[in-house]
Amino acid sequence: MTTITGVQVFDVRFPTSLSQDGSDAMNKDGDYSAAYVVLDTDDPTLAGYGFTFTIGRGNDLAAEAARQRAQSLIGRDVAELVGDLGAAYRGLASDSQLRWLGPEKGVVHLAMAAVMNALWDLAARRAGKPLWQMLVEMTPEQLVDAADLRYLSDVLTREQAIALLAEMEPTRLERIAELKARGGYPCYTTSAGWLGYSDEKLRRLLQEAVDEGYRHVKLKVGADVEDDVRRLRIAREVIGWDAKLMIDANQVWDVPEAIEWIDRLAEFEPYWIEEPTSPDDVLGHAAIRKAVAPIGVATGEHGMNRVLFKQMFQAGAIDFCQLDAARLASVNEILSVYLMAKMFDVPVCPHAGGVGLCELVQHLSIFDYVAVSGTLEGRVTEFVDHLHEHFTDPCVVKGGSYTLPSRPGYSAQMHEESVAAYSYPNGSMWSADPSS
Amino acid sequence: MTTITGVQVFDVRFPTSLSQDGSDAMNKDGDYSAAYVVLDTDDPTLAGYGFTFTIGRGNDLAAEAARQRAQSLIGRDVAELVGDLGAAYRGLASDSQLRWLGPEKGVVHLAMAAVMNALWDLAARRAGKPLWQMLVEMTPEQLVDAADLRYLSDVLTREQAIALLAEMEPTRLERIAELKARGGYPCYTTSAGWLGYSDEKLRRLLQEAVDEGYRHVKLKVGADVEDDVRRLRIAREVIGWDAKLMIDANQVWDVPEAIEWIDRLAEFEPYWIEEPTSPDDVLGHAAIRKAVAPIGVATGEHGMNRVLFKQMFQAGAIDFCQLDAARLASVNEILSVYLMAKMFDVPVCPHAGGVGLCELVQHLSIFDYVAVSGTLEGRVTEFVDHLHEHFTDPCVVKGGSYTLPSRPGYSAQMHEESVAAYSYPNGSMWSADPSS
């Protein structure tokens, strides 16, 4: 019997604020960070790696919450845990004292994501398969057993969830072959459009994106409307009018302001406006969507839990669902969002970037195509070319597509040297003063 | 010039799980806790006291988040801070790295509540007035300057907010006199109805509540429907059919299950059903409300922020707004919720109980009556008779009313001996093993 022998938690921070990587109208100085969890076992060849993503201060809170969340796993039988990941999830979620601090949102929920991501990684490593493959080999009943359907039965019952998955089951292998043939799952790049970049850098990075084969690019907006007009004009000059141009306001507007501002930018024909207002504002997004059509409305990277997404779908509030693999409580909750998205016919285009989010979402998008949605129509997954060098199995993007991961796990393991160097505040990159 | 010289933060926990005080269908073993903040100044007679409320594990996370939140206050001029509490709030809220962990929800938002509660307490102490009085002596413009109206302008503009307050301003003094004449602000008791109590204890406590003058009592439901039927039958036997009987499910149901269960209990004519489902589910509450009328729907103790309440009002989802004084980000955010409630004509009946929540909400309810709503119709504030002995200025409830606090501050200060004894894990009440 293999058991979990311990939990290691690391507060890993990268000083990205120095280069303005990741800068937008709301988040001007993020230090991309991971609350990183390692579940050790008494099998020296087997461990689980997971994390949640933050942007600096408070990453210690997420790490400590993850440590507390994971304590009850110590001493547990690995086979039993990974044999019923729904039960493992419900066990962790049943801590009513920690639940009070959310419920199911904020630091304690980010911590659930980190711990369950490590457990799903452990399960896939033990199975010797990349996570996406492990998922697409599970039966509809097994997948639904793992999903968190609590509070969703007014839109999605267990029976409906199984039926949705069963419908796509006979043709799963065809879609795996199709994805391999087309070079992977389509993605878009945000690397060009951070708000802190100069016009020259913007133009150069956009040209590079076009040259690399991207048909979608995204720019940050929302700090100054005249700047936005100028930057979007540059973007259209470089990418032309056939490529898709997305814009992202990172929650800076009230609802009426959003409608007015987007109207001003409509001449550049944005494909979507992302995070136009508070991520909690279901009815606000619905109002904005109605007002700015045919520009699509996208949100989800701060979508706190499945109950929020349920309402986004019910209210017809979004054209694109941008779930986050480290904010939702891992595959258990993400499965439910994918199933609801399928039911409401909303494409899921996961948020990525940050630290390691690209590594995670590639598995989710492939699973979605193969086992849930069965289509690439309107689907494109975010890709940001930052910090992949710190992962042992970094995502590989070629010609605007994520190639299919082949190594066991959820691609969530970081190099030990990276964890050591960037651990805050005592890693060598911090104690040596990264600004000097 | 008086400046803030330091921040002390305490993880204070009371072992309430031992007596099943506070037990309900979701929270079976809470240890009522406070992440308690003291803002010290260089004036030895002046400090500010505040807290947020949790139910045990993770209270350390809230305390540490409060410590981090409050760091930027050290060295600041007290007069400047309390002279513009809106600016102080926006300054703390502008930390985009901490914001990422919510935004505006969960641990980092609870921490905002704790710190800003201490700052409002400090302001009222410095003014030599109880908080409610300080608030009712502020002009409409001053109150709105303090309020957090971000993301609300689709339902409430600054101008509308000022107009709402201005309308009630000329008659404020009359209502203060009326409240004093009637013995204070009306409240109801939850002390009788915890789920872990025996039928005999339930019957005895209900009789005591009636004898003490309460016209409203509340029972926990949702664990077992047959138990609920039996307990509600006992309640009606004791309190009769003229008194109001509220029931509280603490989020245990999905939407269809809520409707079915409440239908089963309708014969006992509940005045409201509280927390029938996920606190995040605006559209779910709206559906339940429609189905169970004329039974009212109440929620809010887990209402994470003003954007959630905005939508609850917009969707016609609730009959009673139960905002929480330690979950919303103090008076700054609470003001906005009161103003929206006024605009949508929804009575606010604040959540209380826990640790010190009664001490806080009495100020808010009095302020609401005097300066915002101007009516007691449908208003009744929660009261639970637990743990008041640990506060230096405990609330005084007589004949089913909160009497008006008269001492300076927000009634948020705890006895130093209590803080020391119940500090976790090293206070004498914990290190001595409270279960023995």
CA B388, CA B427: separation in Å to the nearest integer? 19
Run of H or E including A124: helix A106-127
| C-alpha gyration radius of chain B | 21
User: Does the annotation count B351 as an active-site position?
Assistant: yes
Contacts of residue A302 in chain B, CB cutoff 8 Å? 103
CA distance B311 to chain A (A): 7
Interface touch A55/B314, C-beta < 8 Å: no
Interface touch A304/B280, C-beta < 8 Å: yes
Nearest to B283 among A97, A278, A314 (CB): A314
- CA dist list (Å): A261 to A46, A299, A391: 52, 17, 39
Intervals of chain B under pLDDT 70 = 433-436
Half-sphere exposure (Cβ direction) of B424: Cα atoms closer than 13 Å: 20
Structure tokens given for B92: 């703390």
CA A361, CA A171: separation in Å to the nearest integer? 22
Half-sphere exposure (Cβ direction) of B15: Cα atoms closer than 13 Å: 16
Q: What pLDDT does B14 receive?
A: 96
ipTM given for this complex: 0.96
CA A356, CA A208: separation in Å to the nearest integer? 22
Contacts of residue A305 in chain B, CB cutoff 8 Å? 280
**Structural domain boundaries of chain A?**
169-417
Nearest to B278 among A27, A151, A256 (CB): A151
Interface touch A255/B151, C-beta < 8 Å: yes
Q: Which of A57, A109, A307, A327 to mutate to test the interface with B (most CBs of B within 10 A)?
A: A57
- Of these residues, B109, B129, B218, B220, which one is catalytic? B220
Directed axis angle between helix B330-344 and helix B106-127, to 10°?
100
Interface touch B101/A106, C-beta < 8 Å: yes
- CA dist list (Å): A414 to A67, A121, A411, A421, B204: 18, 12, 9, 12, 60
pLDDT tens for chain A, 436 residues: list them. Answer: 999 999 999 999 999 888 777 778 787 789 999 999 999 999 999 999 999 999 999 999 999 999 999 999 999 999 999 999 999 999 999 999 999 999 999 999 999 999 999 999 999 999 999 999 999 999 999 999 999 999 999 999 999 999 999 999 999 999 999 999 999 999 998 877 777 889 999 999 999 999 988 899 999 999 999 999 999 999 999 999 999 999 999 999 999 999 999 999 999 999 999 999 999 999 999 999 999 999 999 999 999 999 999 999 999 999 999 999 999 999 999 999 999 999 999 999 999 999 999 999 999 999 999 999 999 999 999 999 999 999 999 999 999 999 999 999 999 999 999 999 999 999 999 987 655 4
Strand A4-13 and strand A33-41: pairing? antiparallel
CA distance B128 to chain A (A): 34
Contacts of residue B54 in chain A, CB cutoff 8 Å? 97, 100-101
CA A53, CA A324: separation in Å to the nearest integer? 10
Shortest CA distance from A67: residue in chain B: B58
Nearest to A102 among B29, B106, B315 (CB): B106
Run of H or E including A188: strand A185-193
Half-sphere exposure (Cβ direction) of A142: Cα atoms closer than 13 Å: 12
Interface touch B110/A101, C-beta < 8 Å: yes
Q: What pLDDT does A196 receive?
A: 81
CA distance B145 to chain A (A): 17
A101 touches A107 (CB < 8 A): yes
Torsion of CA B104, B108, B113, B119, to 10 degrees: -110
- Of these residues, A129, A216, A220, A302, which one is catalytic? A220
Contacts of residue B55 in chain A, CB cutoff 8 Å? 96-97, 100
For A387-410, give the DSSP string.
SGGGBSS---EETTEEPPP-SSB-
Phi, psi (rounded to 5 degrees) for A410: -105, 20
Q: Which of B96, B158, B327, B351 to mutate to test the interface with A (most CBs of A within 10 A)?
A: B96
Q: Which of B27, B55, B57, B220 to mutate to test the interface with A (most CBs of A within 10 A)?
A: B57
Q: Where are the alpha helices (DSSP H) in B21-139?
A: 59-70, 78-83, 85-93, 96-99, 106-127, 131-136
Residue type, B210: V
Contacts of residue B96 in chain A, CB cutoff 8 Å? 26-30, 55
Interface touch A64/B68, C-beta < 8 Å: no
Contacts of residue B150 in chain A, CB cutoff 8 Å? 254
Contacts of residue B256 in chain A, CB cutoff 8 Å? 153-154
DSSP-derived secondary structure letter, B268:
G
**Per CATH, which fold does A169-417 belong to?**
TIM Barrel (3.20.20)
**A378 three-class SS:** coil
| C-alpha gyration radius of chain A | 21
Contacts of residue B308 in chain A, CB cutoff 8 Å? 280
Interface touch B64/A60, C-beta < 8 Å: yes
Interface touch A151/B31, C-beta < 8 Å: no
Interface touch B302/A103, C-beta < 8 Å: yes
Residue B103 preceded by cis peptide, ω within 30: yes
Q: What pLDDT does B17 receive?
A: 84
3-state secondary structure string across A135-181: HHCCCHHHHHHHCCCCCCCCCCCHHHHHHHHHHHHHHHHHHHHHHHH
Shortest CA distance from B277: residue in chain A: A151
Contacts of residue B307 in chain A, CB cutoff 8 Å? 278, 280-281, 284
User: Does the annotation count B220 as an active-site position?
Assistant: yes
CA distance B302 to chain A (A): 8
Interface touch B151/A97, C-beta < 8 Å: no
Interface touch B314/A57, C-beta < 8 Å: no
Residue type, A252: V
Shortest CA distance from A305: residue in chain B: B280
CA distance A284 to chain B (A): 8
CA distance B328 to chain A (A): 12
CA B382, CA B361: separation in Å to the nearest integer? 9
Beta strands in B291-349 (DSSP E): 296-299, 320-321
Q: What pLDDT does A433 receive?
A: 60
A406 touches A186 (CB < 8 A): no
Around Cβ B208, how many Cβ atoms within 10 Å?
15
Handedness of CA A16, A19, A21, A24 (dihedral sign): positive
Half-sphere exposure (Cβ direction) of A293: Cα atoms closer than 13 Å: 10
Contacts of residue B357 in chain A, CB cutoff 8 Å? none
Q: What pLDDT does B436 receive?
A: 46
Nearest to A153 among B256, B305, B308 (CB): B256
Q: What pLDDT does A436 receive?
A: 46
CA A63, CA A90: separation in Å to the nearest integer? 20
Interface touch B61/A101, C-beta < 8 Å: yes
Shortest CA distance from A282: residue in chain B: B311
CA distance B314 to chain A (A): 8
- Of these residues, A302, A351, A363, A386, which one is catalytic? A351
